[in-house]
Structure 1
Amino acid sequence: MSTTSTNTDTAGAVETGATPVPRGRVIFASLVGTSIEFYDFYIYATAAISVFPLLFFPATSATGALLASLATFGVAFIARPVGSVLFGHYGDRTGRKATLLGSLLVMGIATVLIGLLPTYAQIGLWAPAMLAIMRFCQGLGLGGEWSGAALLATEYAEKGKRARAAMWPQLGAPIGFLFANGFFLLLTVWMGHDSTDPAHDGAFLTWGWRVPFLASAVIVALGVYVRVKLEETPVFARAVARGEKVKTPLKTVFRTSWRQLIQGTFIMLATYTLFYLFTTWILSYSIGAVENGFLGIPYQDFLVLQLIAILFFAAFVPVSGALADRFGRKPFLIVVTSLILIFGMTFNAFLSPDVMGTGEAANMGLMLVFLIIGMILMGLTFGVQSAILPELFPTNVRYTGSAIAYNFSSILGAAVAPFIAAWLASSYGVGWVGVYLGSMAVLTLLALFSTRETRDLDLDNVEDAAVSA
């Protein structure tokens, strides 16, 4: 830990009477929580493509079962704004630490219970109903998790290095993806599961798919242990000492910061759409049966490509933080979002079955290039979101404001993205999925152009700036 960071922590502690917290502990606490949350989220996303259509949603067609399963995937995004309001209220009223513990436990318990659910063959329609309820609870927990972790990182950050500090919880997304999908890959290889010809009585579909969900209990316990040892953030503690807490953060944020809520929601839109196209929809399109219009790539082969590409996602998250601190959030995101728009126009050139090939003849090298480009752009756009969204709001409603913007964007850009993309690809061709991504990028660009730069704002004084904007 550097001398500067030690001095910063100590200064905050002296002013608020709090015990100084080592920066390494702050980094680990913000990173471990989001890693767990995204792990839980991704194992559901993977199972929604490869497991749940077979075990929870019997239908007359494979496409119908897939769409039904993806619909429950979207249930969590309806829950996330509810979670943002609930956990945001307590995060702004009682503090960041206790709220972060609560969100982690809600998400973790729901995930473990999914691993214990009976299937449709065992209890009929109660199975998908219970799955949807647990998925709702997952979304509720994640609705409060991300904002709390982002605030933990930003409100402890050194001056001029806020985006670099804020990128740590963003690394939880690729880390969670690697653990979740790596786990599924190992299980399917070990149990000999073939996604193109699944055996309903095989070990993987009988019990193996449950293991990643149940294993969440162990890593949730680790996350709780780490977060119990945290102190309250110095920025929030100073706000409490100045008597700036509000009784109704939700009412206050809509009254004083409604413009920032709209801006933050659409700033995150292209990021969310890209994120879930490349972690959920692309899996269904790539491993689906050729006779249904998909590519028919074996699940294990495609998952290896995804795991390679996700390393580029992780590598470019810290690059994003450094560049956003150097050039500013707004100009940096305008450039990256413009590149996402251009990339969307290339989908047909990469993914068309005539170009890519299908089954054993699929061009795996071309697919890997496509995935890597998407994940590089994902790292660049995602890494800075945990800095710019909290910076839009004053301290006394920062948890609520950033959580609502982040999670309302999840409905517009993530909840429906796999569903819309699957429908577009099957009805009009895969090129229209890229057009869909490009249209979301245009909306994000409009939001960015309407937003002023936040890099040099003092988080202790951002309230005046936000109100006068």
Structure 2
Amino acid sequence: MPRLAAASLAGTAIEFYDFFVYGTAAALILGPLFFPTFSPLAGTLAAFGTFGVGFLARPLGSMLFGHIGDRHGRRPVLVASLLLTGAATVAVGCVPTYDTIGAAAPVLLLVLRFLQGLGLGGEWGGAVLLTAEHAPAERRGLWSSFPQIGPAVGFVLANGVVLVLSAVLTEAQFAGWGWRVPFWAAGVLAVLGLWLRSSLPESPRFLEIDDRARVPLAEVVRDHWRLLLLTAGALAAGYAVFYTATTWSLAYATERLGVSRTVMLACIMAAVVVKGALTPLTAMLGDRYGRRPLCLAGSAMAALWMCPMVALLSTGAPLPMFVGLMGALIAFVVMFGVIAAYLPELYEPRVRCTGASVGYNLGGVLGGALTPVVATALAEGSGRVPWGVGVYLTAIALVSLGCFALLPETRPAPVGAGRPVTVGVTKG
């Protein structure tokens, strides 16, 4: 289990590094480089629009790779998704800007972002299932949380590279070539990830399945449509909170409040470190008290904290901004720390890779794709404190709270160590 957990953590960290480095670049530099004919606000909105395309691609990736995972195994998904995401990310770093090739530049950016999202759509399901289906039932939450730490590590890596480059390069150097370096670094990380995953064993639970679904997506839509919609709605708030705290806040603070890029990146990274450190703790609480209570508590915390968060952000002072971001990400991790165990347990094994992956990534479309765009537009029309952003996020959190309330508990009763327990819900 430690070896599997470490490999899953490293793989998700690399894949989410690829995804997050684009979000950071979209907030800081892509607007002027790829949409120079737009106003600063319109350029930022356009850059966040290409950012959102990655989320729209993620459910398609989960359908494609979920089919592979349910038909041919969880392990092939990990290799194929890592190759696709890594190659697309390196290519983003090579795209000429608008000044060089005109309108073809943002089109290429859009295509590559789509491919990034396609690869990431398969990554989460494969990494989580390979860990969860090896884990003993009474510790499934803890071991499954390691892939969930990967996004925090990937985010810190992505923003750490940008932070260092921002500190050592001039504005002209960063705009000219420095922003490309984090994308090129993805190639090295992809090779490392492939090496780590090359010797992982296949999931024992997958090998036990005799009646594999011929078309897993069709079966999920036919027999588990209600569960799919509920899981997507339930996860929307987590995505909205995370990408508001890590992507929109960066653009808002640097463009509207005049906070330096270095200071804001440091605040966000510190909050994400806290989030990553708390992930195993919340997962252990889920093993002890159940998945659903943690998800309900996290959604409620998010609903209560969103307006205070935007008020603290609007101060432009490092400590209040850090407190605001940290509170938001603590609410996020209480909700999402148990998701890696919860979603697989909700779906029966024969369609688990498709069901869990599609539900997870549909939540990303609902909560993550448009949130930076909507938040930017709402903040532009507000005063010093963008209360509209807080109200918007609070509404999403309340919707997710309602969806979690309609989902069942799945935590299995303790059994002998080493014997995974299969838990599923009824059809419909």
State the TM-score bracket (shorter-chain normalisation).
Answer: over 0.9
The one of 262, 270, 277 equivalent to 1:300 is 262
More off after superposition, 271-280 vs 338-347: 338-347
Match of 2:84 in 1: 106
> What pairs up with 1:346-361 in 2 under 5 angstroms?
346-352=308-314, 356=315
The one of 216, 219, 241 equivalent to 1:249 is 216
Distance 1:203 1:324 in 2: 47
Q: State the Cα deviation string for residues 417-456 of structure 1 (Å, max 9, x = none).
A: 1001111111245111111111111111111111110111
Change (3 A) 1:92 1:59: same
Residue 408 in 1 paired to residue 338 in 2?
A: no
Match of 1:222 in 2: 192
Q: State the Cα deviation string for residues 375-424 of structure 1 (Å, max 9, x = none).
A: 22222222111111111101110000011101111111000010011111
Distance 2:313 2:30 in 1: 25
Instruction: Using the TM superposition, give the Cα deviation of residue 49 of structure 1 relative to its aligned residue in structure 2, in angstroms.
Output: 1.3
Match of 2:163 in 1: 185
Residue 309 in 1 paired to residue 271 in 2?
A: yes
The one of 379, 398, 423 equivalent to 1:462 is 423
Is the Cα–Cα contact under 8 Å of residues 142 and 280 in structure 2 kept in the other structure?
yes
The one of 146, 149, 153 equivalent to 2:127 is 149
Distance 1:279 1:364 in 2: 15
Is the Cα–Cα contact under 8 Å of residues 347 and 431 in structure 1 kept in the other structure?
no
The one of 300, 318, 321 equivalent to 2:283 is 321
Distance 1:392 1:57 in 2: 43
Residue 285 in 1 paired to residue 252 in 2?
A: yes
Give runs of ≥4 in structure 1 deviating > 2 Å. 457-463
Is the Cα–Cα contact under 8 Å of residues 155 and 459 in structure 1 kept in the other structure?
yes
Distance 2:19 2:42 in 1: 23
Q: State the Cα deviation string for residues 72-109 of structure 1 (Å, max 9, x = none).
A: 00011111111011000011000000111101110000
Distance 1:381 1:38 in 2: 19
Distance 2:222 2:211 in 1: 16
Is the Cα–Cα contact under 8 Å of residues 142 and 284 in structure 2 kept in the other structure?
yes
- Structure-2-length-normalised TM-score: 0.95
User: Between Structure 1 and Structure 2, whose CA radius of gyration is higher?
Assistant: 1
Residue 373 in 1 paired to residue 327 in 2?
A: yes
Change (3 A) 1:348 1:232: closer
Match of 1:453 in 2: 409
Secondary structure of the residue that 2:194 maps to in structure 1? helix
Instruction: Using the TM superposition, give the Cα deviation of residue 351 of structure 1 relative to its aligned residue in structure 2, in angstroms.
Output: 3.2
Secondary structure of the residue that 1:59 maps to in structure 2? coil
Change (3 A) 1:205 1:460: same
Is the Cα–Cα contact under 8 Å of residues 296 and 335 in structure 2 kept in the other structure?
no
> What pairs up with 1:33-112 in 2 under 5 angstroms?
33-112=11-90
Distance 1:351 1:215 in 2: 31
Distance 1:56 1:339 in 2: 38
- Structure-1-length-normalised TM-score: 0.87
Instruction: List alignment gaps of at least 5 residues for structure 2.
Output: 414-418
The alignment covers a number of residue pairs equal to 421
Change (3 A) 1:49 1:100: same
One-letter amino acid of the structure 2 residue matched with residue 437 of structure 1:
L
Is the Cα–Cα contact under 8 Å of residues 81 and 119 in structure 2 kept in the other structure?
yes
Is the Cα–Cα contact under 8 Å of residues 45 and 280 in structure 1 kept in the other structure?
yes
Match of 1:424 in 2: 378
Is the Cα–Cα contact under 8 Å of residues 35 and 172 in structure 1 kept in the other structure?
yes
Distance 2:363 2:129 in 1: 18
Distance 2:258 2:362 in 1: 34
One-letter amino acid of the structure 2 residue matched with residue 448 of structure 1:
F
Distance 2:240 2:199 in 1: 35
Is the Cα–Cα contact under 8 Å of residues 309 and 325 in structure 2 kept in the other structure?
no
Q: State the Cα deviation string for residues 99-120 of structure 1 (Å, max 9, x = none).
A: 1110111000000111111110
Secondary structure of the residue that 1:117 maps to in structure 2? coil
Secondary structure of the residue that 2:409 maps to in structure 1? coil
Instruction: Using the TM superposition, give the Cα deviation of residue 348 of structure 1 relative to its aligned residue in structure 2, in angstroms.
Output: 4.8
Distance 1:96 1:68 in 2: 36
Is the Cα–Cα contact under 8 Å of residues 297 and 334 in structure 2 kept in the other structure?
no
One-letter amino acid of the structure 1 residue matched with residue 6 of structure 2:
F
Instruction: Using the TM superposition, give the Cα deviation of residue 140 of structure 1 relative to its aligned residue in structure 2, in angstroms.
Output: 0.2
Instruction: Using the TM superposition, give the Cα deviation of residue 460 of structure 1 relative to its aligned residue in structure 2, in angstroms.
Output: 5.5
Residue 443 in 1 paired to residue 399 in 2?
A: yes
Instruction: Using the TM superposition, give the Cα deviation of residue 462 of structure 1 relative to its aligned residue in structure 2, in angstroms.
Output: 3.1
Secondary structure of the residue that 1:232 maps to in structure 2? coil
Change (3 A) 1:41 1:396: same
Is the Cα–Cα contact under 8 Å of residues 309 and 327 in structure 2 kept in the other structure?
no
Is the Cα–Cα contact under 8 Å of residues 277 and 418 in structure 1 kept in the other structure?
yes
Distance 1:113 1:304 in 2: 27
CA RMSD of aligned residues (A): 1.4
Match of 1:389 in 2: 343
One-letter amino acid of the structure 2 residue matched with residue 65 of structure 1:
G
The one of 136, 142, 147 equivalent to 1:169 is 147
Percent identical: 41
Is the Cα–Cα contact under 8 Å of residues 264 and 392 in structure 1 kept in the other structure?
no
One-letter amino acid of the structure 2 residue matched with residue 27 of structure 1:
A
One-letter amino acid of the structure 1 residue matched with residue 129 of structure 2:
L
Is the Cα–Cα contact under 8 Å of residues 73 and 135 in structure 1 kept in the other structure?
yes
Instruction: Using the TM superposition, give the Cα deviation of residue 310 of structure 1 relative to its aligned residue in structure 2, in angstroms.
Output: 1.4
Distance 1:230 1:299 in 2: 40
Residue 262 in 1 paired to residue 223 in 2?
A: no
Instruction: Using the TM superposition, give the Cα deviation of residue 461 of structure 1 relative to its aligned residue in structure 2, in angstroms.
Output: 4.1
Distance 1:169 1:462 in 2: 20
Distance 1:378 1:59 in 2: 37
Is the Cα–Cα contact under 8 Å of residues 137 and 420 in structure 2 kept in the other structure?
no
